[in-house]
Structure 1
Amino acid sequence: MEICSFWYGSSLRFVDRVCLASMILAGHRVKLFCYDPIGNVPSGVEVHDAEPVLPRHVFARINKDFPAKRPGVTVLQFSDLFRVMLMKHGEGAWLDTDVYLIKPFDPAPAKPYLARENFSRLGVSALYLPPDNPIIGDFDAYINGTEILPDWLGFHRRFIKPALARLKGEEVTTGMIGHTVFGNDGISRLARRHGFFRDAAPKESFYYWTGRDALRIFDAKYGLEPIRHKDFIGFHIHKKQPTDLPAEPGSFYHWAIERVQHLLA
């Protein structure tokens, strides 16, 4: 299956280049959607226009003051919307640009693919939805609607938190409600609503280490432990700070860079 992803900006981070290159190495056609030219795309990655998938003006749907206010969380939430719209357009399976792939990622075309991040939540860094999946309809309805907040939020985020904000004279936006409104939290709630939360792939598929433990990929003491697990497909590099430092020989991250070095030149 083809891999699709999204980038907002004119230049990729080094970790994103490494991860995109790993997808090429795994044998995939990789399509990176963006609004503006990107100058440092790894060899083999195709750059595609994002506008036909989700017009740039939709940024105003979640933040009318973008990019003047809260640009970081707005881009994050827009990316969450964008990945689901890629599913609507049948562009393939989604991987975040910071997912390092070891094996081919080929979900069944007729079934949704999500992996557990923990007991109560699904990750969205690796995702596939068939074009007729109801989550796509939920996102489509939100994008084309007028309500500020989506209808899948829990009671606290949908009613209590907005009410408290209004009492303080604050504007209610999806950004102030929470970063994961359209991401992990939102998709997990919708997967439960539509009855396929329990069908999620094992945590080890893409989230072998999470939280503070995710830093273990930079530590030679843990070496290549994840790749020995039978369910391991790739790793979401959630912790970014060490990626700007020299990789420690013997660590997963050092090994990961060495594997794709020829695609980064």
Structure 2
Amino acid sequence: MTNPTRRPVASLWIGPRLHYINQFCLLSHVQQGHPTTLYCTEAVENVPEGVIVRPATEIMDIDMEIVRQTSESFLSNVFRYKMIQKTNAIWIDCDAFCHKPFPDEMEHIYAGHGFRGALNCGVVYIPQQGALIDALLDYYDNLPDAPAWFNKQQRKRLDKQDSALPQAVRIYNAERTSFGPQAFTWFAQQTGDYERALSHDVLYPVPFQLNDVFFDPYGRVEGHFTDQTLSVHLYTNGTKPWWRKNVPLANSYAARMCEQTGVDPAKALEQ
């Protein structure tokens, strides 16, 4: 019996190869019945079968020089809202594992994470039309002299940036999360959508600070889950180098998810 077709999900990849964590996370959505699209800025050699590959330029023009001066996360933070507006898909980071399908009726998919209470946008869906998406896209398309939420210290760092740099680079250098969680949290507060956030256990059951537990063969990752958990973020941006370059230890969550999705981790290690 095949899974029913569910809501589309999508992500972005910059680079020629996926890590095994990215592979099993993307496949987890496919196997839960979600049509899963990976927008790419170049040819990716090891996309799992079942994942739809599309050029990122279908969503927006890509300025790779800006990406080189900032990071891949900068582009993805702009990309995700333009993608939602154009396709109505749920944005998923490539290190978010689909534990349960996203309900068809859920109109606001985002949550806080870690111990700080800020909203994360690693998994996010907001209505295609509305004050929140309008505010986010206006911010990215018409960058201010300084983000409205910057404190005195952040503004000082911004003022020290070379005025010849693109404004996006200046803001990023002053505060690297200015285009991600900070922006999303601020604008959600301004529009009243902050109160619509899901509890952290729905999308980020394991705090970022404890992300080593995914590779611990004796760690009980599922102890963090609740009946409401839909997605499990593995936070590859915080993964230690050893885990990136070696197969996961037997019985760890990472190893078990490889087995569950049919991914051979030895073929997709960081080089």
Q: TM-score, normalised to structure 2's length?
A: 0.83
Counterpart of 1:250 in structure 2 is 251
Counterpart of 1:89 in structure 2 is 86
Q: Structure 1: any 5+ residue segments left out of the alignment? A: none
Counterpart of 1:126 in structure 2 is 123
2:153, 2:42 → 1: CA distance?
A: 34
How far apart are 1:161 and its partner, in Å?
A: 2.9
Q: How does 1:189-204 map to 2 (within 5 A)?
A: 189-204=186-201
Counterpart of 2:48 in structure 1 is 42
Q: How does 1:99-138 map to 2 (within 5 A)?
A: 99-106=96-103, 108=105, 111-117=107-113, 118-138=115-135
Counterpart of 1:260 in structure 2 is 261
2:58 corresponds to which letter in structure 1? P
Counterpart of 2:3 in structure 1 is none
TM-aligned CA distance change 1:178 to 1:158, over 3 Å: closer
1:55, 1:19 → 2: CA distance?
A: 26
1:262, 1:14 → 2: CA distance?
A: 7
How far apart are 1:243 and its partner, in Å?
A: 4.0
In 2, are the aligned partners of 1:93 and 1:126 still within 8 Å (CA)? yes
Q: How does 1:42-61 map to 2 (within 5 A)?
A: 42-57=48-63
1:253, 1:99 → 2: CA distance?
A: 12
2:203, 2:191 → 1: CA distance?
A: 23
Percent pairwise identity: 18
How far apart are 1:221 and its partner, in Å?
A: 2.1
1:44 corresponds to which letter in structure 2? G
Alignment RMSD (CA, Å): 2.6
1:213, 1:262 → 2: CA distance?
A: 24
Given the alignment of the two structures, is residue 18 of structure 1 paired with residue 24 of structure 2, yes or no?
A: yes
The C-alpha deviation readout for 1:52-107, integer Å capped at 9, x for no partner, is: 311013x56xx3xx53xx3xx43211110000111111341011011111111236
The C-alpha deviation readout for 1:138-170, integer Å capped at 9, x for no partner, is: 233234336454x4433336633323x15x889
Q: How does 1:141-152 map to 2 (within 5 A)?
A: 141-145=138-142, 147=144, 149=146, 151-152=147-148
Q: What SS does the corresponding residue of 2:176 show, helix, strand or coil? A: coil
Q: What SS does the corresponding residue of 1:180 show, helix, strand or coil? A: helix
TM-aligned CA distance change 1:25 to 1:263, over 3 Å: farther
Counterpart of 1:160 in structure 2 is 156
Q: Structure 2: any 5+ residue segments left out of the alignment? A: 1-6
Q: What SS does the corresponding residue of 2:58 show, helix, strand or coil? A: coil
